[in-house]
Amino acid sequence: MGENVFLNIASWIRGFLDSLGAPLLLNDLIMMIIKASAVIVFVSLNVIWLILMERKVCAYIQCRLGPNRVGPKGTLQTIADVIKLVTKEFLVPRTADKVVFLLAPLIVFVPPALALAVVPWGDGMAAVDMNIGVFYLLAVTSLSTLIFWMGAWGSNNKYALIGGMRVVAQMVSYELPLVLALLGVIMITGTLNMSEIVEAQRNVWFIFTQPLAFLIYFIAGISETNRTPFDLVEAESEIIAGPYTEYSGMGWAMFMLTEYVSVMIISIMCTVMFFGGWLAPFGWTFLPSWFWFFFKVYLFIFLFMWIRWTYPRIRVDQLMGFGWKVLVPLSLANIFVTGIGMYVYRAIGW
């Protein structure tokens, strides 16, 4: 039921282009652009929904109602907010480094958008099915550190500076356990292609063979997305809004959008690497694969929000200590144990 909706649309467009007599190369190029922009448009719209979801989840946790005035049950609230932000003046502080300050919100959306290109949204539904997908995704997402730092430095504000320092320290040190945790999965599957990693989980999801790696990945992921309890970067009770302190209007909104896209990427990675991607649990294949994929991703996003609205914030030295003294050794140990396990299995003829 609806399993091949998107694939059919894709093949229909391809057929249409063929019928126009377009050469194969041009055809491929157009398809690639259509797929990539479809993903970007979808994700941007999805962010609007995610912000609403965050506010609703937060409200329900805090015994409130959340937005409920704009549109039915407040569903149009975020759209109203976006309109407000777009019409707001974009202030540039006099002392700011204007080029860097203006460039940062422009390009901040690029790394997550690049990363989303390789995500397999369903069975055979990756915009670009790259054979080094995981590696590419990790490489691209870690770029955003630089952009946050650009914003922080360009603002020429002390709070932003502290926030920027924290961004660099945090993202660099949590990148390590993040990658090391994924290494266990990659050792087992022997591939970096995300579709193949999902396929490898047909029998058993990697959450059951690599539970420690999942935990490490999830914690480091929260840290990578700068959300509570690791939201030191924008710790509003300490440093106002960190790197975004001086941003207003759409500049600030771009940072905000990026945060939600990052949350989505981490959730997608959790789903793909540990929870069987688009594979249906218990063989419930009566629902299409992309439905299962989104279902799992949204479960993770909900988990992110739940954690955010329950936990207080950790301190910067504790954060670094936790990252280097706990997560990194644990992820190394996980790789070690995985390696031994693989040898043992191979020895008993698995």
DSSP secondary-structure letter at 231?
G
Minimum Å distance from CB 92 to another protein?
A: 21
CA distance 215 to 220: 8
Does position 228 bind another protein by CB under 8 A? yes
List residues bridging with 120 in a β-sheet. 126
Q: What CA–CA distances, in Å, run from 181 to 98, 112, 137, 274?
A: 39, 20, 15, 11
Q: What token pair was written down for 157?
A: 């504000």
Contact (CB, 8 A) for 110 and 269: no
CA distance 270 to 277: 8
CA distance 187 to 299: 27
* Minimum CB distance to another protein smaller for 182 or for 314: 314
* Dihedral sign of CA atoms 62, 65, 68, 69 in order: negative
Does position 162 bind another protein by CB under 8 A? yes
Minimum Å distance from CB 248 to another protein?
A: 16
* Minimum CB distance to another protein smaller for 312 or for 349: 312
Q: Which residue among 158, 287, 329, 339 contacts another protein (CB under 8 A)?
A: 158
Window 230-259: residues binding another protein (CB under 8 A): 231-232, 235-240
Binding mask 194-213 for another protein (x = CB under 8 A): --------------------
Report which of 84, 108, 93 is spatially closest to residue 246, judged by C-alpha positions: 93
* Minimum CB distance to another protein smaller for 166 or for 296: 166
Q: Which residue among 310, 336, 339, 344 contacts another protein (CB under 8 A)?
A: 310
Any idea which residue has 């993040």 for tokens? 178
Does position 129 bind another protein by CB under 8 A? no
Does position 42 bind another protein by CB under 8 A? no
Secondary structure percentages of the chain, helix, strand, coil, to 5: 70, 0, 25
Q: What is the b/e burial string over 211-220, where b = at least 16 CB atoms within 10 angstroms of the residue's CB?
A: eebbbbbbbb
Window 58-77: residues binding another protein (CB under 8 A): 60-65, 68
* Minimum CB distance to another protein smaller for 14 or for 73: 73
Minimum Å distance from CB 15 to another protein?
A: 48
Any idea which residue has 């569903």 for tokens? 75
Does position 320 bind another protein by CB under 8 A? no
Interface with another protein: number of residues (CB under 8 A): 31
Does position 305 bind another protein by CB under 8 A? no
- Interface residues toward another protein, by CB under 8 A: 60-65, 68, 158-159, 162, 165, 228-229, 231-232, 235-240, 309-318
